[in-house]
Structure 1
């Protein structure tokens, strides 16, 4: 018999067992492998939803982006393929055509992207594509340069908002650990387009010139239209709207609810009324100004690969046209590979800062080599090709903007479109002073300018990181 001071043995409660249980050494969830499309934490339902979204969204966006690249080079190709003589384009009229196109491209990016946030995206994007195709086709009937001016403005306007609108749209469906890869797939469509457009246009002109009484240069616009319209109708059939107001015939109610829960877990807010107080709040915040400032340096830092330095140098060295066309395809190939690598690594390891910084350093090295110029032949080739990595971080930059502005759909739309607009605005006129044709093939000013941009981009990268880390520490995300 126990003494009065002794306590009778009691059964250990669940709470006590949990408290006394040994702490596991590793409680981190399993990390996704680089070759895995899904995260280990994704449920079977999530995996089915992601596959559906990729089939419905990514396929259309890739094809639509590829088709737009065809048009961006069609006018230059048409100019040297008979349009100049047929329409009596002399003096600076080709430059004026490009200027009018860029005016539409730049001025309508922000308004049309914001307009899309007020409309069902599954109708807005394909409808814009249809109109873009119609205006592209109308160029084949142009009989004067005045008509082309008007048409090029609308083509620029309807095509210009596509990139920022798509970045916003992807951010409405995908988690931050999925965005960079999808953005990379979308982005490399432009590189595939630039690699294939020359072959398509050359073949079309050779085989169709004079067919049915239509000059070869006019056929180029017909082909752009023929590529665009089926893709636009594909979008009308497939695209879902955004999760908050989704009316897709291919997604079940349970999948739409799951998509909404996924975005809620990311603090990705649905669309709200675009009121004046909301606009003032966005304008007073740091996100717009810091991200747009960063975008200025990032958007201009691809000057080595975008200003034909490699092709002009090869021509000056006496390479044949065939060899020049073959060698210059390496740069977009480097961009494609670096985009995929950056997208995968960014999603899996959340290594945006490290990837952006590494890419900037690689391009600083390339610019130093090219600025010196008198270097071994192999090193010069390496520098030109290495510069192709500059655009490999585009998907990461815009995925990060989606993450930073997650709490406001309207802020995401305004910031992303403003980032793209600032890049295109300065990119339209800075090359006239920095990448002068008379300096080719050794663009000494251009390579030093590009070097300075990469250094400034590194500085702004850590400024951006400081603000973002501070906001997360304060619990605002």
Structure 2
């Protein structure tokens, strides 16, 4: 890990990208012996002072606990409507047409359209109030779904649930970048991301148990209880956030951080060239649009966001069903994929933080998934190899924390650009991920998604190219940075 930088490098400006790229955000080159490297099992870097270690532990307790629990609760809701649909909502609300598809479409419209505006709005507000308040309002809209009597009411509620939940992922990635150094970001981002996998693995059991034990209680159908359960999980988490979360180091009023710790946090971010929030002016927007960071990172996100198609389109479960496996066996075996994602996330995060090997990790993951998709595209292979390919594809999402940690590092010079780029990356990914599968992952092709597996190969190849392009631009900025 690089030692702290006492003075930020000067910001070089240029209008012509080919002549001289803007160097804002590039770390200074420091001469001298390399500091001792952190071990993979160590939570702190050898260069961290005792004061820094106390601060980091406090931040982990104040921030990471909340964002993990809040993200877990949102995954519960994302699956609640599908579960409710097959648990009586279809009959009670007379949803006999394409209403479920429309409900999902309305949800994703709110999810996608409001990501960038709400993430940028958060940069103008005290984050310690904005995130928990949005979480609480999201919980209220989730709860309101249990009272619906017609599908039109559900359409309106699903839009707001999508809008208030959709911005949470990019907003948290930006927020983590306000407090943690580049050698700490990937591991925290991985812990946050793992919440979605834990939520996917636990949601079915929680919802099944709630339905079995509460169906008919107090005159409410089981599917209505699902939304009440989601609300009950969300409210205490939102209040926990209101009590614990600090804002950002530049304007921090946390009751749990001392003045010295806040000053230390500011110094840590200054050593990373991580600039505090500034006015979001027209000139700044034009500057962001003219730079390479937005376009290259968003272009990379287009391919990355869809590269998990094997695990996200139920290929494994449909193949197991076609092979005659029991429902219990299918439910058990398919939990291996999110478990692989969790393991891959942890491994990639640790290696990324210690060795700063973001580009290499992304490239290796892409190669592994190309191999998995080639095996599945061939299809007529031994069952053991097919299982291995399906499980190996779970590594595709293992680099999510690495990708967004890299975006935080690349855009360190501007809090506003970080927010815009990170939210745009997530928005473009979700936008295409909502309709492209309809074309390439067709249900009639299951379980052998020949088009889908070949599409995934193409995505991973393009991701390799984009990693090279991104690494080239970033290395160019670092080499030209003043010493």
User: Normalized against structure 2, the TM-score is what?
Assistant: 0.93
In structure 1, stretches of 5+ residues that fail to align are 1-25
How much has 1:27 moved relative to structure 2?
2.5
Q: Does 1:61 align with 2:67?
A: yes
Find the counterpart in structure 1 of residue 238 from structure 2: 232
Q: Which residue of structure 2 lines up, in the alignment, with residue 16 of structure 1? A: none
Structure 1 residue 346 and structure 2 residue 331: aligned?
A: no
Paired with 1:27 and 1:90, the residues of 2 have a C-alpha distance of: 70
**1:436 equivalenced with 2:418 (yes/no):** no
Describe the shift of the 1:396–1:432 C-alpha distance in structure 2 as closer, same or farther (beyond 3 A). Answer: same
The answer for the alignment partner of 1:308 in structure 2 is 314
Q: Take 2:36 and 2:294, find their aligned partners in 1: how far apart are those partners?
A: 35
Task: Give SS of 2:305's match.
Answer: helix
* Residue of structure 2 in register with 1:17 after alignment: none
In structure 2, the residue matched to 1:370 is 376
What does residue range 27-106 of structure 1 map to in structure 2 within 5 Å?
Answer: 27-106=33-112
Deviations 1:96-131 (A, max 9, x none): 000000000000000000000000000000000000
Match of 1:281 among 265, 282, 287: 287
Q: What residue is the counterpart of 2:28 in the other structure?
A: none
Which aligned runs of 4 or more in structure 1 are off by greater than 2 angstroms? none
RMSD: 0.8
1:220-262 deviations in whole A, cap 9, x for unaligned? Answer: 0000000000000000000000000001000000000000000
Match for residue 119 of structure 1 among 117, 121, 125: 125
Whole-angstrom CA distance in 2 between matches of 1:343 and 1:84:
42
Q: CA deviation at 1:476?
A: 7.3
Quote the Cα distance in structure 1 between the aligned partners of 2:478 and 2:364.
24
1:203 alignment partner, one of 197, 209, 226: 209
Paired residues for 1:323-472 under 5 Å? 323-472=329-478
Number of positions where the alignment pairs a residue of Structure 1 with one of Structure 2: 452
Deviations 1:315-342 (A, max 9, x none): 0000000000000000000000000000
Select 1:172's aligned residue among 170, 178, 182: 178
1:291 corresponding residue in structure 2: 297
Secondary structure (helix, strand or coil) at the match of 1:66 reads helix
- Does 1:187 find its partner at 2:189? no
Per-residue deviation, residues 359-391 of structure 1 (Å, max 9, x unmatched): 000000000000000000100000000000000
Any idea what the Cα deviations from partners look like across 1:297-317, whole Å, max 9, x if unmatched? 000100000000000000000
Query: Is 1:144 aligned to residue 183 of structure 2?
Result: no
Shift of 1:473: 1.3
By relative contact order (CA 8 Å, sep 6+), the higher-ranking structure is: 2
Q: Distance in 2 between matches of 1:438 and 1:332?
A: 25
Match of 1:5 in 2: none
Q: Indicate which of 224, 248, 261 corresponds to 1:218.
A: 224
State whether structure 2 residue 247 is matched by structure 1 residue 241.
yes
Aligned equivalents of 1:447 and 1:47: distance in 2?
A: 45
- What secondary structure, in the 3-state scheme, does the structure 1 residue paired with 2:179 have? coil
- Say which one has the larger Rg: 1
Superposed displacement of residue 472, structure 1: 1.0
Say which SS state the counterpart of residue 271 (structure 1) adopts.
coil
The whole-number CA distance in structure 2 between the counterparts of 1:96 and 1:181 is: 37
Give me the whole-angstrom Cα distance separating, in 1, the residues matched to 2:127 and 2:96. 42
**1:390-439 Cα deviation digits (max 9, x unpaired):** 00000000000000000000000000000000000000100000000000
Structure 2: distance between partners of 1:53 and 1:140: 36
- The answer for unaligned runs of 5 or more in structure 2 is 1-31
2:327 pairs, out of 306, 317, 321, with 321
Query: How big is each residue's C-alpha offset from its partner over 1:49-71, in whole Å with a ceiling of 9 and x where there is no partner?
Result: 00000000000000000000000
Structure-1 separation of matches of 2:35 and 2:363: 27
Distance of 2:383 and 2:220 partners within structure 1? 46
Query: Matches of 1:393 and 1:323 in 2, distance apart?
Result: 29
Query: TM-score w.r.t. structure 1 length?
Result: 0.94
**Could you say what secondary structure the match of 1:245 adopts?**
coil
2:260 corresponds to = 254
